[in-house]
Structure 1
Amino acid sequence: MTQSNAPSESLAHLSPQAPRNPAVTVPEHPQWPVLAAGEKAELIAHIRTLMAQQNAVLVAHYYTDGDLQALAEDSGGRVADSLEMARFGTETTAETLIVCGVRFMGETAKILNPEKRVLMPDLAATCSLDEGCPADAFSAFCDAHPDRKVVVYANTSAAVKARSDWVVTSSIALPVVEHLHTQGEKILWAPDKHLGRYVQRVTGADVLLWDGACVVHEEFKGFALERVRRLHPKAAVLVHPESPDEVVDQADVIGSTTQLIRAVVDRPEQEFIVATDAGIFWKMQQLAPGKKLIPAPTAGEGATCESCAHCPWMAMNALQNLAQVLERGDQEIHIPEDIRLRAVTPIQRMLDFARQA
């Protein structure tokens, strides 16, 4: 199993000043009508025509539906994790960015590309981490700890990013915190406590945690994963660090979505138990079609229980409402300029750091 260089005494601790926000409401998974092959082909052709007319490009997260990922790639867009999504928006010459993912991804695209129109299939597609870290409460939390560098995960609102010193994604969190730790900085981390605790264990930094969690990754069960591992003893275990400690501790690979995808391609094992959103399987299967992917269990007592690990907000993206937003243009991201200007600095700091790493 992958080992972290955890110090003998943990320096990651939850703050009593940052209680979990109990108001987060998880939506039901939307039930989009199943399209016949001919209907789907016709709808995709319609979307491509609208995109060409509007000089639009599509960027989709790995957790969205496979049809959207395929369309993004086939139409000159990008399928990526949140770091690469942020980079892509600044590289394309398209006048309109269509972001298939969750709202903070669309906001990040707009922060970095204020001159471009940024659309999403559904602006209500948010994130439990974002919802659980309201800007006013977070600002008060920061004010109470002025001696700490504020590092926020990308899964936060533009207003929370505007209050930060650094924005990080899961793929760059470790090197950024290691960099700050070597400079003697103490860290205030938000919002995901599991990722924050993992980062602390690896870097040894002094980390004060906001008490937040992803509703998808927090449901992975350590005891059930142990049973699945016994059924598949030759399988490598791939875990996203938003997962609980008892799941992370069983991992052969701990990493971001991109890092987990690379592991399936590069590692010699033929079976993989995957503890992250099931949307990632589309890209894994595309790049490594001969390998077996096993969902890590999220519930139940049985060792073979089926995972329900799929973000309900990511599921709000579909071909149907992608076509609608291109027809109507009514799901556009807008950010107050004062917030955008404050938020762009920590995001750009991350991008500049990534180029130099």
Structure 2
Amino acid sequence: MSIAEDNLVRIREQVQGHLDRTTQARLAPAAEQQLIDQIKTRLKKENAVIVAHYYTSPEVQALAESSGGCVSDSLEMARFGRDHSAETLVVAGVRFMGETAKILTPDKRVLMPTLEATCSLDLGCPADEFVEFCDAHPDREVVVYANTSAAVKARADWVVTSSIALDVVEHLSDQGKKIIWAPDRHLGSYVQRETGADMLMWDGACIVHEEFKARGILDLKQVHPDAAVLVHPESPASVIDLADHVGSTTQIIKAAQSLPNKTLIVATDHGIFYQLQKSAPDKQFIIAPTAGQGATCRSCANCPWMAMNELESLARVFDRDDNEVIVDAELGVAAMKPLNRMLAFAQELRKGVVGRA
């Protein structure tokens, strides 16, 4: 069993314990609307805005949109929070997203519905072990995925999201640089195959994307032969190999709009379906299987930590004293450097100055 597989077993046990303690029934429509109105009132009073990820629930995404906030991938969440005039950012996502917001806007208050909302990639890459790993290979440029702690980012030369990873790594490879990549081994392997870069991998994986099965997708293709397959690159190579399009959450949404196929099989967190169905209402979206065989294939493609961002917890976000994101000032300064490097590179990409050939 690899380090990542051993970590994933332990992390799944922790997650299940939390779910067993906190599972709640869905709110009645009237109660849900009352909470939404309450949250919007507090957002105005506190000069706050919600920054939500695509993997949160449809209710949370709709609230963020209707209250002037942002629903996006982690790169755009970082930009939006940095550039918005609000004094307080309410980050509906997982902890590394809240830390990233705080690093980029240290003078703002950053709150989360719960600081328990984390990520298996973050948990599987402890800062002390990662620093030791990097120190053993001083000749390599350190590139870390955004799904990492502030301390891991502080050790990095670059921070990347899935939407910009290929461009950054190709840019570095063209300069003849060898790379340490962390923490997701599947995304790293995909980037390595696409760019040909010399990459040394940390052994980590996402508990959601790790579970997608190539066999299940092939079974679905038997039923829907004209369907296109859209895959997030945190998925195993056998799943990526079946894809008609591989990309970040934002790139998957754009592909769903542009591809001619009327049916699309999607291998990423089910939370993205809210935006997919809004952006391409004439198309049918099917979640890729994570378990079962043939007609019994099913999917549990929902991040349990993203599910902690509930309307009830958002309604209490300003009244708690244990949910403010705090990042040590010195650590924040160190982590800001690779984050700003990514954002500046993204700006150059939009100008067409750098990027993949």
> TM-score range, shorter-chain basis?
over 0.9
Counterpart of 2:139 in structure 1 is 147
Measure the CA separation in 2 of the matches of 1:186 and 1:26: 36
How is 1:1-357 mapped onto 2 (pairs within 5 angstroms)?
Answer: 21=7, 23-24=10-11, 25-28=13-16, 29=19, 30-357=22-349
Which SS does the other structure have where 1:147 is aligned?
Answer: coil
The one-letter code of the counterpart of 1:339 is L
Question: Structure 1 residues 207, 113: closer, same or farther in 2, change over 3 A?
Answer: same
The one-letter code of the counterpart of 1:348 is N
Measure the CA separation in 1 of the matches of 2:103 and 2:151: 11
- Answer whether contact 1:19 1:210 (CA < 8 A) is retained: no
Measure the CA separation in 1 of the matches of 2:177 and 2:134: 15
- Answer whether contact 1:18 1:141 (CA < 8 A) is retained: no
Counterpart of 1:12 in structure 2 is none
Which SS does the other structure have where 1:59 is aligned?
Answer: strand
Which SS does the other structure have where 2:318 is aligned?
Answer: helix
4+ runs deviating over 4 angstroms: 16-20
- Answer whether contact 1:20 1:211 (CA < 8 A) is retained: no
- Answer whether contact 1:20 1:132 (CA < 8 A) is retained: no
**What is the CA-CA distance between 1:268 and the residue it aligns to?**
1.2
**What is the CA-CA distance between 1:190 and the residue it aligns to?**
0.3
**What is the CA-CA distance between 1:90 and the residue it aligns to?**
1.1
Question: Structure 1 residues 165, 148: closer, same or farther in 2, change over 3 A?
Answer: same
- Answer whether contact 1:121 1:331 (CA < 8 A) is retained: yes
**What is the CA-CA distance between 1:146 and the residue it aligns to?**
0.5
Measure the CA separation in 2 of the matches of 1:153 and 1:191: 6
Which SS does the other structure have where 2:230 is aligned?
Answer: strand
**What is the CA-CA distance between 1:302 and the residue it aligns to?**
2.3
Measure the CA separation in 1 of the matches of 2:325 and 2:223: 46
Instruction: Report the TM-score when normalising by structure 2.
Output: 0.93
The one-letter code of the counterpart of 1:201 is R
- Answer whether contact 2:4 2:124 (CA < 8 A) is retained: no
Larger relative contact order (C-alpha < 8 A, sep ≥ 6)?
Answer: 1
Question: Structure 1 residues 239, 207: closer, same or farther in 2, change over 3 A?
Answer: same
**What is the CA-CA distance between 1:80 and the residue it aligns to?**
0.3
Which SS does the other structure have where 1:326 is aligned?
Answer: coil
Query: C-alpha deviations, 1:251-284, integer Å up to 9, x for none?
Result: 0000000000111112111100000000000110
- Answer whether contact 1:238 1:251 (CA < 8 A) is retained: yes
Alpha carbon RMSD of aligned pairs, Å? Answer: 1.5
Measure the CA separation in 2 of the matches of 1:330 and 1:135: 23
Instruction: Report the TM-score when normalising by structure 1.
Output: 0.93
Measure the CA separation in 1 of the matches of 2:261 and 2:202: 37
The one-letter code of the counterpart of 1:133 is C
Measure the CA separation in 2 of the matches of 1:86 and 1:259: 17
Counterpart of 2:352 in structure 1 is none
Q: What count of residue pairs does the alignment treat as equivalent?
A: 342
